[in-house]
């Protein structure tokens, strides 16, 4: 484990030779900061050298802190972007859910309207079939055998063609109502 060199932990040893320093400080001076010429420096030069080392350590620490802050900012930006994307996804899903809900309501209303319309059309059809049946019975004495031919001839005289088969189909349907 290395020892950080500072004026505070070396100040009391400025007057000592390198080999008289405590082992941890001596190793720090020798290895980390290449001050092998410690013994040849005056007290003032030793103080200046230690101040330079402190500045380097502070600069290095400041660089490390700045680099770490940049990393933290990048990480935060990524997390913010992820949160924004999650928010957009949640919002998209909510909008789709609301849209599906309202489309379901529209579909339901449309289906109800179609059902009502079909019921209305069926009632109208049944009414028309009943009218045709009543006219056939009252005017042509339906269901006697020759009445279908008479009705078809009357249609042809009025330029409206209808076959006996078609006429029988609708009169039979009306009879079942």
Task: Say what the pLDDT of residue 1 is.
Answer: 46
What backbone phi and psi angles, to 5 degrees, belong to 117? -65, -45
Question: Interhelix angle for 43-140 vs 147-157, to 10°?
Answer: 110
pLDDT digit string, tens, across residues 22-51: 888 777 767 655 555 777 778 788 778 777
**Do residues 140 and 150 lie in contact, with contact meaning Cβ atoms separated by under 8 Å?**
yes
DSSP string of 46-57? Answer: HHHHHHHHHHHH
Name the region of 159 (left: φ>0; alpha: ψ -120 to 50; beta: rest): left
């Amino acid at each position: 484990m290395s020892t950080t060199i500072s004026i505070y932990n070396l100040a009391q040893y400025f007057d000592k030779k390198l080999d008289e320093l405590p082992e941890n400080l001596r190793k720090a001076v020798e290895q980390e900061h290449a001050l092998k010429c410690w013994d040849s420096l005056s007290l003032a030069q030793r103080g200046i050298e230690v101040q330079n080392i402190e500045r380097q350590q502070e600069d290095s620490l400041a660089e490390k802190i700045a680099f770490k802050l940049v990393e933290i900012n990048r990480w935060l930006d990524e997390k913010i972007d992820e949160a924004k994307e999650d928010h957009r996804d949640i919002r998209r899903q909510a909008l789709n859910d609301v849209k599906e809900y309202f489309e379901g309501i529209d579909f339901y209303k449309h289906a109800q309207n179609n059902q009502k319309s079909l019921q209305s059309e069926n009632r109208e059809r049944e009414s028309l079939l009943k009218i045709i049946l009543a006219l056939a019975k009252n005017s042509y004495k339906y269901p006697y055998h020759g009445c279908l031919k008479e009705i078809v001839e009357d249609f042809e005289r009025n330029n409206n063609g209808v076959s006996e088969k078609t006429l029988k189909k609708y009169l039979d349907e009306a009879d079942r109502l």
